[in-house]
Structure 1
Amino acid sequence: MRITTLETLLQHDIGTAGRPLSRAAIESYQAEALYQLVEYCRLRSPFYRSKLAEFDNQTISSLDGLSALPLTSETELREQGHHMLCVSQDEVARIISLPSSGTTGAAKRLFFTEDDLERTRLFFRIGMGNLAEPGQKAAILLPGATPDSTGYLLAGALQAMDVRSEILGLVSDPVAVARQLVAGRFDVLIGFPIQLLAVARVAEARKMELPMIRSVLLCSDYIPKSVSTALAASFGCEVFSHYGTVESGLGGAVDCAMHCGMHIRETDLLIEVIDPKTGYPLADGRWGEIVLTTLQRRAMPLVRYQTGDLGRLLVGTCPCGSTIRRLDKVKGRISLQRKLRSGAWIDLPTLDEVLFGLPGLIDFSAAIDENAGQDRLCLTLQCLPGHEDATVEAAGRLLAGQPQLCGVHVQVEHDSGYRRLHQGKRQLFDQREFVCHETACSSSLLNPCR
């Protein structure tokens, strides 16, 4: 049994190299780092100086004082981001802008120093030790043309491990990428779940002889189990999961060989889960909104930042033997849950789990509209050539069996030929004139049994 490689990172940071890592040691380190972070932010950031003016830092003698700190919202990050900055512009090595998910609104801008980026490289290097070995070759199917982008940082981390890599970028044409994989003789694949599945299925349908893939790393805020299972079967290898966002510093948590949750980079990130309706912390095992605090970020620290992602912390110790806390599979954005007229909820992750088990499916788009006062779910499938009719029929049959779609008219059709795969975040579009603005933080979505 091999323990997660993140043990090495935490032992180095905490100063316990060569000794077993305990929860007490991790939490003591985090409490001290949190205390120093609050002092640093109040000293250097106009935003935090005002926001934390009434906060008594002496209450952070342990992590029990964490919930006394105010939450930081996405709106505050968009509107006050420049006031969150704790360093001069000369010290900023990288700025990442994330456009608003709506048609209007300011972009989120995240600032990083070179030291911040180095912490990400270090996490990538040590985290990749779970699935890559010196002398191997990796294909990075992530954005990487820009210096210090995710793919660029990952390539640098792999080079430090003596693992060669090529940045192939996001998958637009799965046939072309499959040919690149055949020519490149790669051992490790790193990319978005749906895009890698499209490549695998196209290659199999065309009887292309892909190299023997040793491991796959899926990177996303939501990774369908149906996709992980299909990729493991297609490539005949282990499939690992990684959760990370720009706010987390691109790296966040990665699973080990036991695949029982993703171990968190706990000396960099303090993660908690709250009830998004009340803001109260939830016990391990309860589903809620992921909130993160960046313990070592220099340029733009985030204190109790509400990510908007639905997740939970797992109870107990990983079977690998590590006491590092673990995130369960993250279930996507809470704000992208859609309430139906029946009172039931539907979201894209649910549709993904239902549909991507169909072997002829490559990708799909989905939207809700209305017809004669009834909700209508419209899906357009992208299928392997020759599999269109069977896949459309099977999809309709599967969706008809979903209880939350009772009373919803389901319309399924297919595209002709290969179109461009989704390049950004996929979502279930709501095109109804009547849109329920109730948030998805109500009971059923946060039920642990969901």
Structure 2
Amino acid sequence: MPPISPPPPSLLPELLAFVRARSPFYRDYWAQVPPASASLSDYPVLDSRRFWAANTVQGNQVLTAPLDSGITFKSGGTTGQPKYSVFTNAEWQAFTERSGARLRVLLRAGDRVGNLFYAGKLYASFLFSQRVIEAAGLGVGYPIAGDDLHEALAIWRQFDLNVLAGVPTTLMKLLELLTPEDRERLSLRLILFAGEPMFADQIARVQALFPDCVVRSISVAGVDYGELGWTEPDAEPGVHRSYDESTVLEIIDEGSGAPIDATGVPGRLVVTNLLRRLMPIVRYPVGDRGEWVDPPGTPERRFRLLGRTEEGARVGPMTLYVDDIRQALTTLQAQGVLQGFKDFQLLISHHGERDECCLRLALAEPASLGELGAAQIARALYAARPMFSDLLEQGVVHPLRVQAVTLDGLQTNARSGKLLRVLDQRHG
């Protein structure tokens, strides 16, 4: 891939002036910022709730012009009211072409790429991925979608696909369907995932079936904010490069709100898209945490994703962090307690005037867990989160409930296929 030139120095001041002049929401939101300021640090990070409250279908206050041509995507449909993100036709084409140019470093001539992202109501990932595969200019794309995995497997067999793109939950369920004959005959060179992380235990399961398979992120992007990061062939897990020519990526201290320049210091990711004009994205919090890998001034500076900014379950006054639970379960698996462990999900409910957390474990043989195994898992998680035991003694929360299911017993979003890591059943 040829080197990408950074944006001209005038692009950010031009964007800020344009947005202030054309967007009623931003003009009001920036009321305390001097009009001539071209320093992003002078501008407040977007309050997502205010941004989307103003970014409505009728009477929109964010857009800089009427929406008379382009494309509209539903976003944020997992909970609450769906949001809608819009691009002009030129913006959408440029977005996918930039991402496709980076994907080119992972694909090879002759690759047969099956697109298993969901094509239902939350359709942006499917359309984006297909356009990006086309824009990469290598291989043949097969727009299969991930709602019927038996059909997907039939197409894999028929066309001898060697690259699969999709949500990790979908990909892992597809691998469950492989017969011994499939494992012997089919090949898999590359997995391209997005939508949720793909963890070491999942990658190990892939490579147990296909030892030479490489697992990489297809892109870090959002239908709200556009492109954020791209992956190199030899990248460490979670490490991506930024897009110098089209974005300004910041990592912000979660306490002070100050930008972080040092490497290895976690903060929340905030992005400004320099090229979108219809629905401007200026200091937009993307919902992920990260840290810089390269020193300041490095071209296409690398960053490492560190999970969601609020990836946890609130149980009474306590937060159960998903990463802590995953670590505890990984330790139990290494100790031989969790045989055939595949994934997990948290269900939060409320009864008897107290909150309850149910840890739903996907196992190859759910009946193998038993009461003793469930009790051992509960004790391990209490040890990992001592506040849980304290709240139990105080009668503030119910004991942890452990439920063993098959992988299909974990609930996914019907539109996107993403695993719903936390299901809060307390609100209807």
Distance 1:231 1:351 in 2: 22
CA distance 1:268–1:39, change in 2 (3 Å): same
Distance 1:174 1:363 in 2: 18
Alpha-carbon displacement from aligned partner over 1:48-97 (angstroms, at most 9, x marks no partner):
2233344335443xxxx32111221211221111211123321x311112
Distance 1:142 1:293 in 2: 26
Q: Which residue identity lines up with residue 324 of structure 1 in the other structure?
A: E
Q: Which residue identity lines up with residue 184 of structure 1 in the other structure?
A: F
Q: Is the 8 A contact 1:223 1:330 kept in 2?
A: no
Q: Is the 8 A contact 1:360 1:391 kept in 2?
A: no
* Secondary structure of residue in 2 paired with 1:311: strand
Q: Is the 8 A contact 1:287 1:311 kept in 2?
A: yes
CA distance 1:41–1:323, change in 2 (3 Å): same
Distance 1:138 1:124 in 2: 16
Matches within 5 A, 1:36-435: 36-56=14-34, 58-60=36-38, 65-81=39-55, 82-90=60-68, 92-99=69-76, 102-103=79-80, 106-144=81-119, 149-160=124-135, 161-170=137-146, 172=147, 174-203=149-178, 208-209=183-184, 211-236=186-211, 237-241=213-217, 242-249=219-226, 251-260=227-236, 261-284=239-262, 285-316=264-295, 323-334=299-310, 336-340=311-315, 343=318, 345-352=319-326, 355=329, 360-369=340-349, 376-384=356-364, 387-390=365-368, 397=376, 400-402=379-381, 403-406=383-386, 407=389, 409-415=399-405, 418=408, 422=412, 423-424=417-418, 426-431=420-425
Q: Specify every segment of 5 or more residues in structure 1 that has no aligned partner in the other structure, as ranges.
A: 15-25, 434-450
Distance 1:30 1:426 in 2: 41
CA distance 1:281–1:197, change in 2 (3 Å): same
CA distance 1:228–1:252, change in 2 (3 Å): farther
Distance 1:109 1:400 in 2: 44
Distance 1:359 1:136 in 2: 36
Distance 1:30 1:227 in 2: 42
Distance 1:338 1:378 in 2: 11
Distance 2:154 2:366 in 1: 23
Measured after TM superposition, the shift of residue 206 of structure 1 is 8.2
CA distance 1:144–1:174, change in 2 (3 Å): closer
RMSD, aligned α-carbons: 3.4
Q: Is the 8 A contact 1:137 1:188 kept in 2?
A: yes
Q: How many residues align?
A: 395
CA distance 1:75–1:224, change in 2 (3 Å): same
Measured after TM superposition, the shift of residue 182 of structure 1 is 2.5
Q: Which residue identity lines up with residue 275 of structure 2 in the other structure?
A: Q
Distance 1:420 1:338 in 2: 16
* Secondary structure of residue in 2 paired with 1:297: coil
Q: Is the 8 A contact 1:363 1:383 kept in 2?
A: yes
Q: Taking structure 2 as the reference length, what is the TM-score of the superposition? A: 0.79
* Secondary structure of residue in 1 paired with 2:230: strand
Measured after TM superposition, the shift of residue 130 of structure 1 is 2.4
Measured after TM superposition, the shift of residue 208 of structure 1 is 4.5
Measured after TM superposition, the shift of residue 99 of structure 1 is 4.5
Q: Specify every segment of 5 or more residues in structure 2 that has no aligned partner in the other structure, as ranges.
A: 393-398
Q: Which residue identity lines up with residue 411 of structure 1 in the other structure?
A: R
Q: Is the 8 A contact 2:261 2:296 kept in 1?
A: no
Measured after TM superposition, the shift of residue 328 of structure 1 is 1.0
Q: Which residue identity lines up with residue 256 of structure 1 in the other structure?
A: E
